[in-house]
Structure 1
Amino acid sequence: MSLTFSLQRNANPRTDADVAAIHAAPGFGQYFTDHMALATWSVEGGWRDDAIVPYGPLQLDPAAAVLHYAQEVFEGLKAYRHADGSIWLFRPEMNAARFAASAERLCLPVLPEEDFLTSIADLVKADARWVPSGETEKSLYLRPFMFASESFLGVRPARTVTYCLIASPVGAYFPQGVAPVDIWVTDEYSRAGIGGTGAAKCGGNYASSLIAQEEGYEHGCSQVLFIEASAKDRVEELGGMNVFLITKDGRLRTPALMGSILAGVTRDSILRMGERLGLRPDEGRITPDELTEGITSGEVVEAFCCGTAAVISPISGFKSRQGEVRLADGAHDQTLAIRNAILDVQYGRAEDTFGWMHRVA
């Protein structure tokens, strides 16, 4: 039976003045709306106890399995306010599918797509006033997640699981906005490996990236690019984003999905929009030498990273212990063209000829 997520309204919501002040300077992931969605799954009863409830702390037993074995997955998507006041989601069915695939990889129950989408639509409707105007690329970031909540210390899939969805009004992911960023390249640390959880969106992948991320910060870089763990013969993705190269002959290159790279919704959208704009999508193996030599020779003319949170950010250079290579100053015209084309669809400034947008309010 489908879940309904009935509304239990928050008796003490933020004032309209509070919400307006937050919208003026939301930052990223710092403030949260009045409500959240919850549901529980058990081996015996399946999915139940679904509701939109007041936002607040979750109560966990110290023996909750997630705290010991990291059995959890999550997603990230946004709600966009259009100029007429309506609110839309961007390709949410792809997030639902990836959430299901991640759950299967982590031995968690699959939340049906219909229930996933219902929870999001119902929470957005309940907290519609929290969706900011899109004039300065602000949006409502949505974070669905699922975790093993059974109190049990044995190593096996949990028999009780909690699903939760929270929402946060956000601005730019990088404080500097769309300014080009430097990327640290590491072959010392790995984010994921063949047969691992790289294709799942789970916290462990991000936790394993943090030490390299900190190393990148020490070298003035905003993100870190990982090299494949075993053979070290191909670049993969950043700690939280996919990576793209644009060549002088019009190829839009990105590492192929080989089981250790997250299938980004923005990544897929860029491949389709890039082709619409005259570039040739090229998913395949990119070796570290191809990356550095391509930039040095001028074969690679632009590079950028992408994800739901940051959308698309131009890359100015790559640094590693072997040195650094830099793109030409201001070399991001095609990158920004793709970025603007996707944003125009998301915010309703251009016709959605792909069928990507779904109205929820």
Structure 2
Amino acid sequence: MNQVDWGALGFDYYKTDWNVRFYYKDGKWSEMEVTEDEYIRMHMSASCLHYGLELFEGLKAFRGVDGKVRLFRVGDNARRLRASAERLCLPVPTMEMIVEGCKEVVRRNERHVPPYGTGASLYLRPVMFGTKVGLGVKPSDEAMLIIYCSPVGAYFKEGIKPIKVALDREQDRAAPRGTGDVKVGGNYAASIYSGHHAHELGYSNVLYLDAKEHKYIEECGAANFFGIKNNTYVTPKSPSILPSITNMSLRQLAADFGMKVEEREVPVEELTTFEECGACGTAAVISPIGTIFDMQTGVRYDYGQEVGAQSMRLYAGLQDIQYGRAEDTHGWTTVVL
């Protein structure tokens, strides 16, 4: 990887050397398998291919200012993966399997961990499938867990900048009491149509409202939404929102910085009151929002074309911990190398 232009990498898959796999069959999990194979051999009638019995996670490893390689909040990702497996009635991997699998992937692919200062990182994707062969709609008592990785570049190539977002009242991302609060593939499939339409109109992302009343803000594409006003960090609370680990971290940092933190219902009318808005997730950490355009009413909410001071402080604070530039007082990072 010596010839890689790390700064030019996008958020996409780039081949690495090794991945790890676990298989569940006959009531037990296998030992960890380490392989160079990028492909999966699967029966055409496997339950994941027909009934959506699939889930995944996303987390990153960072090469720090001190040369150490750190995984960020791997335990929290493992807990969320287990919650997703429980919801889909899939065999639930142990915490140790997931965490040690992630560590092994980082160790085996050390040469693909981008150098400090490039803005790039190593993205890990644990993904799990129900593999039971059959035709009926029922739980799968056979499964496969794969953990692989890919180096990814900085989300904002020329520095963090505000994005344009379209508010869509005509399509819902996830239903109440459905699977919106777990990380399963069907939630993302449901967002493709509206996301594609927004991109055609020149918007980077879609802001969704709650599916029940269409009155409250929910997710922003594949990320959580937050707004800032009066030194308060406000983020939506709903049973159909994925509990973002990045958002959890930002809420804690906001409190550390002396801000008030509110996790609650956020009516769409409140958009007029925010001084800053953003979307947050693993890929970009924070995507500050400059404009929200309501596609159905024509109303436009403007927050300026510069990153807000509070958003930038939170972004820098989290990155400082991830890259080892600041003390990890909350125990979020795991040194692997």
- Residue 235 of structure 1: aligned partner: 217
What is the deviation of 1:329?
3.5
Change (3 A) 1:22 1:203: farther
Whether the 8 Å CA contact 2:67–2:116 is kept in 1: the answer is no
- Residue 148 of structure 1: aligned partner: 130
The question of 1:328 aligning with 2:304 is answered yes
The question of 1:251 aligning with 2:227 is answered no
Superposition RMSD in Å: 1.4
Whether the 8 Å CA contact 1:108–1:161 is kept in 2: the answer is yes
Whether the 8 Å CA contact 2:24–2:143 is kept in 1: the answer is yes
| Aligned mates of 1:226, 1:90 — CA distance in 2 | 28
Q: Secondary structure at the match of 1:94?
A: helix
Which of 150, 156, 163 is the matching residue for 1:168? 150
**What is the correspondence of 1:195-344 to structure 2 with a 5 Å cutoff?**
195-247=177-229, 249-256=230-237, 258-291=238-271, 293-294=272-273, 300-321=274-295, 322-323=297-298, 324-344=300-320
Q: What are structure 2's unaligned runs of at least 5 residues?
A: none
What is the deviation of 1:22?
5.5
Change (3 A) 1:166 1:62: same
What whole-Å deviation, never above 9, does each CA across 1:169-205 have from its counterpart, x for those lacking one? 0012356652110111111101101110000101100
What whole-Å deviation, never above 9, does each CA across 1:203-231 have from its counterpart, x for those lacking one? 10001001110121122111111100111
Whether the 8 Å CA contact 1:73–1:103 is kept in 2: the answer is yes
Whether the 8 Å CA contact 2:162–2:307 is kept in 1: the answer is no
What is the deviation of 1:147?
0.4
| Aligned mates of 1:331, 1:80 — CA distance in 2 | 24
What whole-Å deviation, never above 9, does each CA across 1:117-140 have from its counterpart, x for those lacking one? 010111111111110113132110
Whether the 8 Å CA contact 2:7–2:157 is kept in 1: the answer is no
Whether the 8 Å CA contact 2:161–2:306 is kept in 1: the answer is no
Change (3 A) 1:170 1:252: same
What whole-Å deviation, never above 9, does each CA across 1:221-268 have from its counterpart, x for those lacking one? 111111001111211011210011001x21110001x32000000000
Which of 24, 31, 35 is the matching residue for 2:18? 35
What is the deviation of 1:60?
1.4
- Which ranges of 4 or more aligned residues in structure 1 deviate by more than 3 Å? 173-177
What whole-Å deviation, never above 9, does each CA across 1:77-102 have from its counterpart, x for those lacking one? 00111123211111111101100001
What is the deviation of 1:45?
3.5
| Aligned mates of 1:172, 1:184 — CA distance in 2 | 23
What is the deviation of 1:354?
1.5
Instruction: State TM-score, norm by structure 2.
Output: 0.96
Whether the 8 Å CA contact 2:127–2:145 is kept in 1: the answer is yes
| Aligned mates of 1:278, 1:75 — CA distance in 2 | 31
Q: What are structure 1's unaligned runs of at least 5 residues?
A: 1-15, 295-299
| Aligned mates of 2:85, 2:157 — CA distance in 1 | 32
What is the deviation of 1:355?
1.4
Change (3 A) 1:22 1:52: farther
| Further displaced range: 151-160 or 190-199 | 151-160
**What is the correspondence of 1:18-167 to structure 2 with a 5 Å cutoff?**
20-21=3-4, 23-42=6-25, 44-167=26-149
How many correspondences in the alignment? 335
| Aligned mates of 1:22, 1:330 — CA distance in 2 | 28
Q: Secondary structure at the match of 1:21?
A: coil
Whether the 8 Å CA contact 1:28–1:173 is kept in 2: the answer is yes
Instruction: State TM-score, norm by structure 1.
Output: 0.90
Whether the 8 Å CA contact 2:16–2:149 is kept in 1: the answer is yes
| Aligned mates of 2:157, 2:187 — CA distance in 1 | 24
2:52 counterpart letter in structure 1: A
2:207 counterpart letter in structure 1: L
